[in-house]
Chain A
Amino acid sequence: MSAEKKEYLLVDENGQGKPDKPWIFRTYAGHTNAKASNELYRKNLSKGQTGLSIAFDLPTQCGYSSDHEVSRPEIGKVGVPINSLEDFRILFDQIPIEEMNTSMTINGTSMWLLSLYVALAEERGVPLEKLNGTTQNDLIKEYLARGTYIYPPKESMKIIVDMYEYSLHNIPKWNPSNICSYHLQEAGATPVQELSFALATAIAVLDAIKERNCFSDDEFEQCVGRISFFVNAGIRFVEEMCKMRAFTEMWEEITTERYKVKTAKYRVFRYGVQVNSLGLTEEQPENNAWRILIESLGVTLSRNARCRALQLPAWNEALSLPRPWDQQWSLRLQQVLAYETDLLEYPDIFEGSKVIESKVKALKEEAKLEIQKIIDMGGALVAIENGYMKSQLVKSQTERLSKINSNELVIVGKNKWTDGIKSPLMTDSDGGIFKVDPKSAEQTLNVLGEAKSRRNADLAKKSLEELKQAAKDGKNLMPYSIACAKALVTTGEWADALREVYGEYNPPTGVDGQKLFLSDDKVSTVRGKVEAFTKANGHRPKIVVGKPGLDGHSNGAEMIAVSAKHSGFDVIYSGIRLSPEEIVQSAVEENANVIGLSILSGSHKEIVKQLFDELTHYKAKIPVVIGGIIPESDFEELKKMGIREIFTPKDYDLMSIMEKIIDIVSEEPALV
């Protein structure tokens, strides 16, 4: 080793300068149908990409086949639809899966998708030891933030443990689950909540594995080493960097103290990052490019808080689905950061910083208290079932929104410096947004129909019966699922079989007892109007807040429910994944004065049509307003269908929204 070692340089064992390898650049991709996605993947791979990150559409994530009624508006919208092994054959056509690192963002049906992957490998004669990749499979964050869960917590955890047991013995390089705190921050989590909820989740998974006692000590260590994390990086990038350092240190402590892991490499906190989408604005969307850059710095700048993989949203995600060019622009940002700057040449540049150290310490202390609270309660599963974690998130989110409303939290272009020149990026002929061709669903349905007609119906039926029986007997379900995959069982059939045994879960909404921290003139104006309505009609105005379809991002609906209560409405809010029929039925039975819909998946036109059909059935004239990611080009059509008002991320001022709603309600002739 050289005597004149320079502290500021990264060197190899011979003392030669050797910068770090960059993190993995990921593209989260999949849309339209298996064929189109396969073409996209092969194009990306031919440019030197070595891994795949598969996005599935909402029916696939929620366990419905494309031919289910509820799937229709969603096929191929936010990812690729997968109905049976036949779709996987098409999706991976000419792609050597033995050479891939395949990451699947899938949770409720993760066991099914892994089974399809295994079935495909066996069909191709690929040894299972060669399969490399991750099924996300973090149900807790689904219950809390994203909504694509199916079964109750206990049964979902059982499925996760099944996958660990099977994978470690058969596909040793596979990561059966990945603890995902990303969506917690999207749902309003503070850094302390992100730390504590994610680590409590990991503890819940490892405790469940311990309880099954299916591994030797050595195998259990390997199993701990298989756990990876997927986290979020927000705009307060110094704090976010400290959060990452706290994560690493706390994981080291937990695996050493709680699980006695002796091998150092199995204690490493392995994680990928996507930077925050929540803070992206629809107003002056070009500013989002800078936000994405700054958020990236928190998880790349210092060596001890550098992610293994990074994916960046596109600058226009608050407007709609990004186009290929928008995604490419985000990828270029990563490449500039990794290859043009000197970022990777240094050891940790914040080591020894008093500021950073004490901030990390403070975060760790708070997070430890919170983890202890959850463990005292009985662990993460109990904190889900009793609604504790959900209500904490809704609380953080309402506080955040209250601060934006009162300008305490500055968001450039949204509540400050709002006047600006319109962005020339938006003037392209496509209006700056991407749309899936609605006809492409036919292809998916054809493949599904053919697979069903071609398969051995008796065999499919028999394997489903065996799956159900195994679930009743508490057996490991992996082998039975793989048998189903080979028998060309469909996604919906697999999920239904287990729904029959396990039931479907309906979690607490988290909105009970929530308060807004707003009390300005606007609030009194709105409350005044509500009181006037109450006086004139003899009862309070009633709003049904509906979250239709399979999109489970419920933040918007929750905030509207809480704001409406704050204004003096009686609010009916029943959580996510309702059909338009159920929403209308609620509104009719409750004699609601208005229906407020929240839709973020891009299926608003289809769902609004179904909703008005249903209102017609009951001969009910109830005004309907809608909020969500809705491009301006759809406004006219929606209004023609009967929608009274449209709110988009631009309308962040909750009381202005409520005022518009109470005005609409007050204009209506009295219903009684």
Chain B
Amino acid sequence: MIDTKESLSQLVSEALLGEKYPIAKIISKIETENNLEFREFLFQELIRQNPNSKEGLTIGITGTPGAGKSSLLGELCKLFLDFAPDKKMAIVAIDPSSNLSGGSILGDRTRVTLPRRDTRIYFRSQPSQLELGGLNPYTYHVIRFLRRIFDYVFVETVGIGQNEISVSLISDLSFLVMQPLGGDQVQFMKSGIMEVPEAFIINKCDEESLANSSYYMLESTLEFIKDILPDQSLPPIFKTSVTKRKGIEELLNYILNYQKRKDKNTETLTQLTQWIRNEYGRWGISIWEELESSKWNQAVKRNPLGGIHKLKYEEEERKIVSIIQTKIK
């Protein structure tokens, strides 16, 4: 139905107006295999139709199963509707469940209830497609797309180790959600993951003293392992409770007032590297580094925010494929 460029342009203009069904259809197409050509057209079209379109803040939320991430997001949504009446948010929830059949049950929507026909919050589930704890192969492109329509794009992933840091590579602000005294501290210290997120949430702080003791434990752990320079302070730690409705307002305010953006060039580079590694392994990376990376790196240095235009991802991907293909031949 959106095979022709005309109908795609139409869908893009409806999506830019915030209509949910067109947005949903475009995401499905992004999630389809071999979609390079489609993506190329899509991102060009988004710029063409709305050259000054916004660049929403991406917020990664990760943590062990059972840490209560979905319920927390549900509460955030409720407050968001009141607190930010002129803003819009999207949520991409990645569910790790999958089995032999390849099918999955995606149940994270359960925690988010919205007013009827509301267009300010958009929720999308994604199966992780057997990539344990990590991101779906198309997550990055879905987020790139959603950032152009929504002010805030939340990405929720379940992780139990190194893999969960991948969400922080594609978000401007990432949170690690933990439970009080869950033994998480020691676990994460080992895996080195504590160094990655920008902020921490101790969720399920239903009981004051338990919450406080966990808070201080985490604080001292972070002082140990975070690379804290004299001019830097400790990353913020939020204590939240969904049942007691505590700490969520503070968390939301922090997100709404967060101004910093990560460099999208680095993000694009990271994603390209990861993609090449997935598709062609280390061999692919070495070919790319030999032939292209010097040019890339120079450009990034020259103009950190505009050197490699973030919309050129598809162009670069195409180039790499053709270079590697020639090598294979």
Contact = CB atoms under 8 A, between A and B. Distances in A.
B127 interface: yes
A426 to B, nearest CB: 38
Contacts of B103: 530, 540, 564-571
Interface stretch (B105-113, B265-273, B304-312): B105-113
Contacts of B101: 527, 530, 565-568
A586 B127 CA distance: 15
Interface residues of B, number: 40
B24 to A, nearest CB: 4
Contacts of A513: 97
Interface string B154-171: 000000000000000000
A589 B109 CA distance: 11
Contact of A539 (B1, B31, B114, B125): B31
Interface string B75-112: 00000000000000000000001010111111101110
A407 interface: no
Nearest to A543: B103
Interface in A568-597: 568-575, 579, 581-582, 585-586, 588-591
Given A506-B111, A538-B33, A671-B28, A588 B106 contact: no
B116 interface: yes
Interface in B23-47: 23-29, 31-35
Interface in B1-23: 1-2, 20-21, 23
B213 to A, nearest CB: 20
A424 interface: no
A667 to B, nearest CB: 15
A564 B99 CA distance: 12
Contacts of A515: 99
A640 interface: no
Contacts of B97: 512-513, 565
Contacts of B123: 586, 589
A669 B1 contact: yes
Given A538-B35, A568-B101, A574-B109, A581 B28 contact: no
B111 to A, nearest CB: 7
Interface residues of A, number: 48
Interface in B114-132: 114, 116-117, 122-125, 127
A619 B97 CA distance: 31
A620 interface: yes
B250 to A, nearest CB: 19
B21 A618 contact: yes
Contact of B25 (A509, A511, A565, A672): A672
Given A538-B35, A565-B101, A568-B102, A588 B24 contact: yes
A590 B124 contact: yes
Contact of B109 (A562, A567, A586, A617): A586
A631 B183 CA distance: 55
Contacts of B35: 538
Contact of A588 (B20, B26, B245): B20
Contact of A572 (B32, B106, B116): B106
A581 B20 CA distance: 14
B152 to A, nearest CB: 16
A421 interface: no
Contact of B28 (A569, A574, A672): A672
Given A568-B103, A620-B21, A672-B1, A589 B122 contact: yes
A655 to B, nearest CB: 12
B43 to A, nearest CB: 17
A530 B25 CA distance: 20
Contacts of B66: 386
A588 B15 CA distance: 13
Contacts of B32: 537-539, 672
Interface of A: 152, 386, 503, 506, 509, 511-515, 527, 530, 534, 537-540, 561-562, 564-575, 579, 581-582, 585-586, 588-591, 617-620, 669-672
Give 6 nearest A-B pairs by CB, closest first.
A538-B32, A591-B24, A565-B103, A568-B101, A574-B110, A568-B103
19 contacts: A511-B105, A527-B101, A530-B103, A565-B97, A565-B99, A565-B101, A570-B104, A570-B125, A571-B104, A572-B106, A573-B105, A579-B116, A581-B116, A581-B117, A585-B117, A588-B20, A618-B20, A669-B1, A672-B26
